[in-house]
Amino acid sequence: MQDNKQCNGCEQALNLLLKKAKDDKVETVWGRALAMQPQCGFGEMGVCCTNCSMGPCRIVKISPDGPKKGVCGATEDTMAARNLARSIAAGSAAHSDHGRDIAEALLNFVKQKRPIKDKEKLKLLAEEWGIKSCDDDTENLVAKVAKTALDEFGKPFGHLRFVERAPKKRKDIWESMNVVPRAIDREIVEVLHSTHMGCDADYRNIMNAAVRAALSDGWGGSMIGTELSDILFGTPAPHEVEANLGVLKEDSVNIVIHGHEPTLSEAMVIAVNDPEMIEMAKKQGAESINLVGMCCTGNEISMRHGIPMAGNFFQQELAIVTGAVEAMVVDVQCIMPSLSQLAKCYHTKLITTSCKAKIPGAIHIEFDEIKSIECAKKIVQEAVINFKNRTGNLLIPKEKSKGKVGYSVEAIIKTLDGVTNTFAHPSGTVKPLVDAIKSGVVRGAAAIVGCNNHRVPYDKCHVELARELIKNDVLVVTTGCGAHACIKAGLMSDDAVKLAGKGLATACGLLKIPPVLHMGSCVDISRILHLVSMVANYMDVDIKDLPIAAAAPEWMSEKALSIGTYAVASGIYVVLGVSPQVTGSENLTKYLTSDMEDIYGGRFDIEPDALKAAGKIINHIENKRKALQI
């Protein structure tokens, strides 16, 4: 286990709250991780199987004695591949179910005759999908787009519509490998079927199914979630927000909204600004109601409404430890079950809202999209009346930072238009970015995404990697918990240009952007796929030919495995800071870190040291530049 060091700007706040947690005699993720040591070696290597009741079976790798096959005869390759594929399918399911919920929300907006925020994006998506529109019938168009999106989950024929955004050379590779995603649910079901006891035992074939399920996430469920969220709630544009737990206010009712889906958080934004709710808070002795965002919900509402970003995955418990949170409101994904017990040690109310994610000990207020504002007000009322129950055991760290968020693909294109010579070239293209890369002013680009994990120093890996890359003129884009880490460290501020290399600093100065661009939540990695496809199509090359890379230095979830797999299968070099649980199979490990490059042009690499990871990414980018002769 590593130490708790993180970015310089955040370390003091972290240490303060860890000390308070110790003084208050409450446990956190760090203490539980320590108590878990040593962790199961069979599980770490992926050679434990519980797929049938003849097991659990495990394969002994460290000595010549002990079983080398499961009771059914499954080898280490079969076990490790099955386990990995099932995790990838689960990650794809989580992202894609999020996308389905957004599509259903879009349909509900029509039924309730509620306005959408981005009609232009609706028309462009309808045109892309071949849906005819009439300018004066937005409701009909919204309904058609929503139903078409929902069909992507279970249609019996054809392939996913967003696959057409990929370059032709990429689609040819997918077709040759028979991994073009058909319908989202079908790909996830097929992985679960093929990895059932007595089915697929060929690790390569198992991984083919897993790749197709992952692609159905990146080029399907996640992309649907992103595009339709923009249509519903507005396409993000750059603006400044505050970040870190210092955004909590001592004199206000603090509500932390945590999870992933924007339907709940959008309703909460409306509810906390309702005069009736504000007046109720004042009657309880508070100055106002302070809504802040945690994890990917924090990304969602910061980039559309400027709501402060309280923190990432490892800060959810620390927010409650401050003693200043009246309610933590959660929906789905990355919510620690420990929160309900922790909340009882303070006055915080933990409120679950999704039938998919209930936690014993929490208050459950089911979120109803049809009555979204009423539900949100009920939740806010719970928080407001809880203000009087605050004790004097408060510690809100002073540390907070500022940075720019909201670089959607549309916002990036608009920014690039600002330096386009419109007399010579059309606007609305990625030409200025391509020119900067070709000239070498910007050497390439890297995505830093993912979670927090006790196996590596908290936040430090995100921040050190980003700093080293921008110092070497590599533009960084980021989402999810990586984005929280970067904004807390000041890397999304205009001042961060001082940390960039001369070339990148020049480009950032011209475009008036920070060297690390915030592109949203974890489903919004689909924005990155869209952008690299636009660049590849403009340069008439495949994605694998571009001087780009990706990294997940602190990943931990099944969603991250799905993301990494669809990125590799899209032709991207992906560096992981934490090894997947596959090392018990030398063949599968080699497949992921070497063979996939021969097939897809992308591969996984494992490097826990952030500076070494940066070196590998820079070498990869320079090799791609040489191949392109730029």
Q: Which residues are annotated as a binding site?
A: 40, 48-49, 52, 57, 72, 260, 296, 334, 451, 481, 522
Mark out the alpha helices in 441-554 (DSSP H runs).
Answer: 460-471, 480-488, 502-511, 525-539
Q: Is the dihedral of CA 226, 228, 229, 234 positive or negative?
A: positive
Distances (CA, A) of 92 to 124, 192, 575, 599: 26, 12, 20, 21
Amino acid type, 529 = L
Q: Are 166 and 570 in contact (CB under 8 A)?
A: yes
**DSSP characters for 410-441?**
HHHHHHHHTT--TTTS-SSSSHHHHHHHHHTS
Cα-Cα end-to-end distance for the chain: 42
Give φ, ψ of 535 to 5 degrees.
-65, -45
DSSP conformation class of 25: T
**DSSP characters for 111-147?**
HTTPPPS-HHHHHHHHHHTT----TT-HHHHHHHHHH
Closest CA to 507 of 600, 434, 584: 434
Q: Is the dihedral of CA 28, 398, 349, 108 positive or negative?
A: negative
Q: Are 528 and 477 in contact (CB under 8 A)?
A: yes
Closest CA to 216 of 204, 224, 205: 224
Q: Are 538 and 499 in contact (CB under 8 A)?
A: no
The answer to whether the bond into 167 is cis (omega within 30° of 0) is no
Tokens (6 digits) for 533: 């496809």
Q: Which residues of 66-96 are buried (b: 16+ CB within 10 A; e: fewer)?
A: eeeebeeebbbbbbbbbbbbbbbbbbbbbbb
Closest CA to 217 of 86, 357, 89: 89
Beta strands in 1-147 (DSSP E): 48-49, 57-58
Interatomic CA distance for residues 249 and 319, integer angstroms: 12
Tokens 């139903």 — which residue? 147
Q: Are 489 and 482 in contact (CB under 8 A)?
A: no
Largest Cα–Cα distance of the chain, in whole Å? 75
Residue 189: partners with Cβ closer than 8 Å, 6 or more residues away: none
Residue numbers in the known binding site for [4Fe-4S] cluster are 40, 48-49, 52, 57, 72
Residue numbers in the known binding site for [Ni-4Fe-4S] cluster are 260, 296, 334, 451, 481, 522
Tokens (6 digits) for 54: 């003849």
